[in-house]
Amino acid sequence: MTGSTTPPARPWRHLLGAAAAALGLLAGGAQAQDTTMGVRSGPLSIDPHFSSAGQHASALRNVFDALVRRSADMKLEPNLAESWRRVDDATWEFKLRRDVRWHDGTPFTANDVKFSVERIPTVVAGTGGLGAYVRSIRETVVVDDHTVQFRTHGPAATLLAELDRVFIVQARAAQGADNATFRSGGAAIGTGPYRYVSWEPRGDLVLERFDDYWGARPHFRRVTKREISNDSSRVAALLSGNVDLINYVPPASVGTLNRTANLQVLQVPSIYVFLLHPDGRDQSPLVTDNEGRPFAQSPLRDRRVRQALSLSINRNGMARNIMEGLAEPAHTPLPPVFFGVPRDTAELRYDPAEGRRLLAEAGFPNGFRIQLHCTNDRFAGDARVCAALGQSLASIGITAEVNAQPTSVYFTNYTRGDHSLSMNGWGTLTGDATYMLASLLHTRGVDPRFGTFNRMRYSNPEVDRITRASLEVVDEGERERLVKQGIRTAMEDHAIIPIVTLSAVWAINARRMSFTARMDEETLALDARAPAAP
């Protein structure tokens, strides 16, 4: 396999292309010099290895490159590596670009790659570092200045996708560097399209165009990414002209922004899907009969009950009305463009009558009581969808107490196993469904490599078997077949229940810029362009 190999065309790609054409992304209009972007959250450090959080990658990808990268529609592409191949089942070889310079003018080499990969496990991370992305690498070998090999613990089928998050730092500058050294600029030397100028936590990240960047020339000379966490304040900043772009546009503001002269809302399906997670344990803490008595065995253990939950959900109504058009009905637990997601599955039905029949067949003709937990501040619309789910469950005779909580509270309790039924957004930046199988659907507690996020204790030996087999396969065609089989098996078991696929939404001042909307929701300065000339 090499970097020049291209996967088949994906659904939704035409939407991205149409948006690009409509915005004049390829036109050569007059270029503005500076721009300010209002973002909901900024980096957690200037050290790119400090956190695996999405907003951290979105900010620092402007400064640092990885060996590979994802296109706007999640297709894997060459980046610092121009090609790659498997030498054998446990060795990957990457050929590096020869025309890359660090921001201080020195040449990029394979030694920087080796240093970066070996540094990642040593970083004292803030909210979860990048260790999971290099865990399969046993040894990094420098073959020559522009060739590096990764010798792995076995086949490491997902390594290529994971390398998108492994940012390369300069070995000389980052040696022994801590957060303070990166923030001062001493270690914040990258190969990306913008060089680092300054950063204030919860404030401004200031970037300056790197004129010797190896790739496409950035359009803006100076970019300020201003953290504005409050949705209303972010919208107000765009309306007042204080910023040229905002991300995470709240649904309630879309109409106003679209009706305002010179402003434009950009929307594409994102990587995130709202999922309903039924508890997989025999005894679940917050589900009882209608008199409040606990069950000897939780109703959620019965597949027919889980199917009834799915049948209660009007996905079209959720997307159109509850999410005000900023979502699409979800019939798979990850977007269909992802590697390993079946595209031939039937749409999930909305049929409350059939749901009530299945509940009665399972022995619950009068339903039962349950507590439903979700976040109220993690994604736009999460609390509203959660409330609507409570009404959906009532339509099949289940009385749900809806508990919408701040993210910090929700995940503390979720991690402890305090929930019986949960709803949250799930996505993976790898573009590969293997990650969902291994971390969310594989049985928890049998192997530290698996089930990391399986807090609802779902367990299916067949899903486990398929997941492990997929990770041992070298042939990509066979691996994709296995991953699809694993996802399909979990779907047929109603292990997790898809609700809607969220939209990634930005708004721009179209007189000041055009912008490429991305499924992974990253707001990259390189994707901002001067608008086409009138």
52 with 175, same domain: the answer is: yes
The residue with tokens 């708004």 is 507
The answer to whether residues 525 and 463 belong to one domain is: no
When pLDDT is cut at 50, 70 and 90, the band that residue 526 belongs to is very high
Residue 1 inside a domain? The answer is no
Over residues 377-387, mean pLDDT: 90
Strand partners, 529: 514
What digits encode the pLDDT tens for the residues 114-163?
999 999 999 976 555 788 889 899 999 999 999 999 999 988 888 998 99
Residue 127: per-residue pLDDT = 52
42 and 151 assigned to the same domain = yes
Do residues 289 and 196 both lie within one domain?
Answer: no
SS3 230: coil
Q: What are the b/e assignments for 17-31, b being 16+ CB within 10 Å?
A: eebbeebbbeeeeee
CA-to-CA distance for 507 and 517, rounded, in angstroms? 10
Q: Report pLDDT for 52.
A: 83
Give the domain CATH number at 398. Answer: 3.10.105.10
Q: Rounded to whole angstroms, how far apart are CA atoms 286 and 178? A: 45
Residue 256 within any structural domain of the chain? no
Within a domain: 427: yes
Q: What is the pLDDT of residue 28?
A: 37
Q: How far apart are CA 45 and CA 126, in angstroms?
A: 9
Please enumerate in sequence order all residues whose Cβ is within 8 A of that of 224, keeping only pairs 6 or more positions apart, or say none.
34, 35, 36, 37, 204, 205, 206, 207
**110, 200 contact by CB (below 8 A):** no
Task: Dump strand ranges (E) for 448-522.
Answer: 497-509, 514-515
Q: Residue 22: which pLDDT band, with cuts at 50, 70 and 90?
A: very low
Question: 380 lies in which domain range?
Answer: 271-502
Q: What is the pLDDT of residues 176-228, one digit of tens each?
A: 999 999 999 999 999 999 999 999 999 999 999 999 999 999 999 999 999 99
Same domain, 282 and 418: yes
For the segment 64-117, what is each residue's pLDDT rounded down to a tens digit?
999 999 999 888 999 999 999 999 989 999 999 999 999 999 999 999 999 999
Residue 448's pLDDT is what? 81
Name the token pair of 18. Answer: 């149409």
- Same domain assignment for residues 245 and 282: no
Share of the chain above pLDDT 90, in %: 79
> Are the C-beta atoms of residues 70 and 429 closer than 8 Å to each other?
yes
Q: Tell me what percent of the chain is helix, strand and coil, each rounded to the nearest 5.
A: 30, 25, 45
> What does the alpha-carbon distance between residue 286 and residue 297 come to, in Å, rounded to a whole number?
12
On whether both 286 and 358 belong to a single domain, the answer is: yes
Same domain? 216 vs 277: no
* Average pLDDT over all residues of the chain: 91
Rounded Cα–Cα distance for residues 142 and 101 (Å): 18
Does residue 196 share a domain with residue 66? yes
Give residue 355's pLDDT: 98
Question: Within this chain, do residues 35 and 146 fall inside the same structural domain, yes or no?
Answer: yes
Structure tokens at 383: 């609390």
Instruction: Please compute, for residue 533, the number of CA atoms within 13 A of its CA located in the half-sphere on the CB side.
Output: 4
